């Protein structure tokens, strides 16, 4: 097991960042599932090539906003309140989207997450 650690705050900074072309950075993440409604979970999921989902605006643009500007964007769908709910939408290479709770992330870019 890898003994390197990364703080959750640093994980979120990396997730929110974009590359030189304005595209979200790709990362590896391992997290635990949990569903309060169905009382199911505990499965460990590893996503080896993921990135943060974009936000589609009414003008058809795909953007990757910083959290401080997120509420000023005219969006197509309702606000998922990621900051309030401590969640993020993650995009997989096959186009599938997953929602994960940031406090259930146990590994990021092969480093153990500490809080």
Return the number of other C-beta atoms located less than 10 Å from residue 105's C-beta: 21
Per-residue pLDDT of 45-78, as tens digits, reads: 999 999 998 755 444 445 444 444 444 444 445 5
Interstrand relation of 5-7 and 111-114 (parallel, antiparallel or unpaired)? parallel
Domain that holds residue 20: 5-114
Per-residue pLDDT of 7-34, as tens digits, reads: 999 999 999 999 999 889 999 999 999 9
How many independent structural domains does the chain possess? 1
How many residues are there in the chain?
A: 115
CA distance 101 to 103: 6
- Mean per-residue pLDDT, 91-112: 95
Confidence of residue 79 (pLDDT cuts 50, 70, 90): low
């Amino acid at each position: 097991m890898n003994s390197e650690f990364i703080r959750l705050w640093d994980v979120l900074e990396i997730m929110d960042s974009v590359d030189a072309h304005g595209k979200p950075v790709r990362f590896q993440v391992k997290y635990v599932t949990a569903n309060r409604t169905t009382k199911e979970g505990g499965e460990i999921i590893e996503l080896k090539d993921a990135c943060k989902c974009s936000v589609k605006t009414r003008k058809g643009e795909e953007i990757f906003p910083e959290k401080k500007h997120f509420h000023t964007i005219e969006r197509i769908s309702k606000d998922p309140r990621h900051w309030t709910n401590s969640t993020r939408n993650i995009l997989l290479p096959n186009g599938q989207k997953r929602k994960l709770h940031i406090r259930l992330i146990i590994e990021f870019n092969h480093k153990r997450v500490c809080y």
